[in-house]
Structure 1
Amino acid sequence: MPFQAVAPQRLYEQVAEQVSGLIAAGEFRAGDRLPPERDLARKLAVSRPVLREAMVALELAGWVEVRSGAGTYVRASGRTALKIVNAGPSAFELLAARRTIEGEVAALAAVAATETDVADLRALNEEIGRQTASGQTGVEADGAFHRRLAEVTGNAVLVDIVSHLWAGMNGPILTRFHDLTNRPGKHRTNIADHEAIVAAVGRHDAAAARQAMAVHIGHVEAVFAEDIAETTAPTRAG
């Protein structure tokens, strides 16, 4: 038998594979409600954010249904155990990377920004508000805001890195997270966070710009860390 490449597996994928194996073995049947998130996380010895990512990955693969405010229910049983759930990068790993990289991007932008740059950033933030007010997600303008901030640094490599990070923010698992954690006021916080970043950049205050970005991404992490089973509904953060 020829050698085969060993694919690296994310932690949430390992958890999803184990849970799918239990479903396939009949431990949980179609229509069953899975145990509460905190109990499953304890039994599997993983954090609740990792378990939350695994549940979303299983939903995308058709194994379960995550119902906001009601828990997670088995959709299929008796299937062959899932091998790899490729739902994109871990939401929390991606946000941790963004906190580190985009914080420094904001600081560098504060040093280099012109009045035109600041006006462009403010216009993009206003566009997010217009899009969300009309019922759109605002994600395109949101991503454009962060990429424009990277452009202000004058470093093409940083622009590429931020663009790559934002491609991950549009991946399947992140998109579902957005849907499950939608709630009133989320967009307003997002826009206010962006305005704080723009204000710091406009003052050429690198430390304040770095801190404003950290606060912004912390808000996104806090929304994603909410217990999905207790989440009600509406909006996209980024």
Structure 2
Amino acid sequence: MKQRLYQTVTKAIMDLIESGEFPVGSRLPGERELSERFNVSRVTIREAEIALEALGYITVKIGSGAYVQKPKGEAGTQLPDVSAFELTAARAVLEAEAAALAAANMTDEGLAKLDQIVRKMAAVKHGDIETGDALDRQFHLTIAQLGGNPVVEHTVQNLWRMRTELPRVRDVYESVCVSDAQARTDEHAAILEALRRRDPAASRAAMREHFHRLFEAMLTASEKRELEEIKRRTSQDRQRFLLTTQI
């Protein structure tokens, strides 16, 4: 599996944290400094910081920066081999409940953070998959964190590890998200509105609707790929038949 650039940067920063160059409690250098150090874009640094936060290596404070913390558990747990459909079914149940829990415990600071993410999501250029995925991940992980239950937060983090680290799952999600970017943004805005009202039932329903639409889009994409494969095989069979009849 070929690592994406942000994953390489994530690993490099983890190594620096574990070596003591970035000690626990210290503030990470800013995005500009890190992007110059690793010779990558600031978008890649933001993606790496989202991954580091999900893994428990840093905590991001709005308006203050990213601070190093001691990871709560082992980050390198082996992931199960699941399909995109199996993962989405699990996410629909667990993340809907995470949204309801977050609504019941929502703070003004949490709403400000989610609002900032949705605004950035709306401004993402068409075809910019990496930025869209990074913001998507940040939105869902923030909701899990705001619920205040570390078990729920850890579970959602692992669901997102499957979403981003399992190649066949990641490929299916990316094929859908690149074509449904506007729908994804609108659905996140609807979830945010329910959370803003601090309404657990509405937040749960909005999250479920988000995954229902995603599941339908995945089915459509899967059917399209299967039809294309049938056409390809049919074309090959036709060519073999024509060659046989000419012998």
Contact kept? 2:129, 2:174, Cα under 8 Å: no
Normalised by the size of structure 1, how large is the TM-score?
Answer: 0.56
Aligned counterpart, 2:235: none
Aligned counterpart, 1:127: 120
Contact kept? 2:102, 2:143, Cα under 8 Å: yes
Aligned counterpart, 1:176: 171
Deviation of 1:116 after TM superposition, in Å, equals 1.3
- Alpha-carbon deviations, 1:49-70, whole Å to 9, x = none? xxxxxxxxxxxxxxxxxxxxxx
Matching of residue 98 in structure 1 with residue 91 in structure 2: yes
The structure, 1 or 2, with the larger RCO (C-alpha pairs under 8 Å, 6+ apart) is 1
Aligned counterpart, 1:160: 154
Matches within 5 A, 1:203-222: 203-222=197-216
**Alignment partners' CA distance in 2, 1:163 and 1:141:** 14
Aligned counterpart, 1:144: 138
Residue 178 and residue 104 in structure 1: after superposition, are their counterparts in 2 closer, same or farther (change >3 A)?
closer
Deviation of 1:90 after TM superposition, in Å, equals 1.3
Normalised by the size of structure 2, how large is the TM-score?
Answer: 0.54
The total of aligned residue pairs comes to 145
Q: CA RMSD in A?
A: 2.2
SS at match of 1:89: coil
Residue 179 and residue 119 in structure 1: after superposition, are their counterparts in 2 closer, same or farther (change >3 A)?
closer
Quick one: which amino acid aligns to residue 130 of structure 1?
A
**Alignment partners' CA distance in 1, 2:92 and 2:84:** 12
Matching of residue 198 in structure 1 with residue 192 in structure 2: yes
1:113 to 106, 113, 133: 106
Matches within 5 A, 1:33-112: 88-112=81-105
> Gapped runs of 5+ residues in structure 1?
1-85, 232-238
**Alignment partners' CA distance in 2, 1:180 and 1:133:** 13
**Alignment partners' CA distance in 2, 1:199 and 1:182:** 21
Contact kept? 2:117, 2:139, Cα under 8 Å: yes
**Alignment partners' CA distance in 2, 1:131 and 1:183:** 11
Residue 182 and residue 106 in structure 1: after superposition, are their counterparts in 2 closer, same or farther (change >3 A)?
closer
**Alignment partners' CA distance in 1, 2:138 and 2:80:** 23
> How high is the sequence identity, in percent, across the aligned residues?
29
Contact kept? 1:87, 1:172, Cα under 8 Å: no
- Alpha-carbon deviations, 1:121-156, whole Å to 9, x = none? 111122223334472431111111100001111111
> Gapped runs of 5+ residues in structure 2?
1-78, 229-247
SS at match of 1:154: coil
Deviation of 1:179 after TM superposition, in Å, equals 4.4
SS at match of 1:197: helix
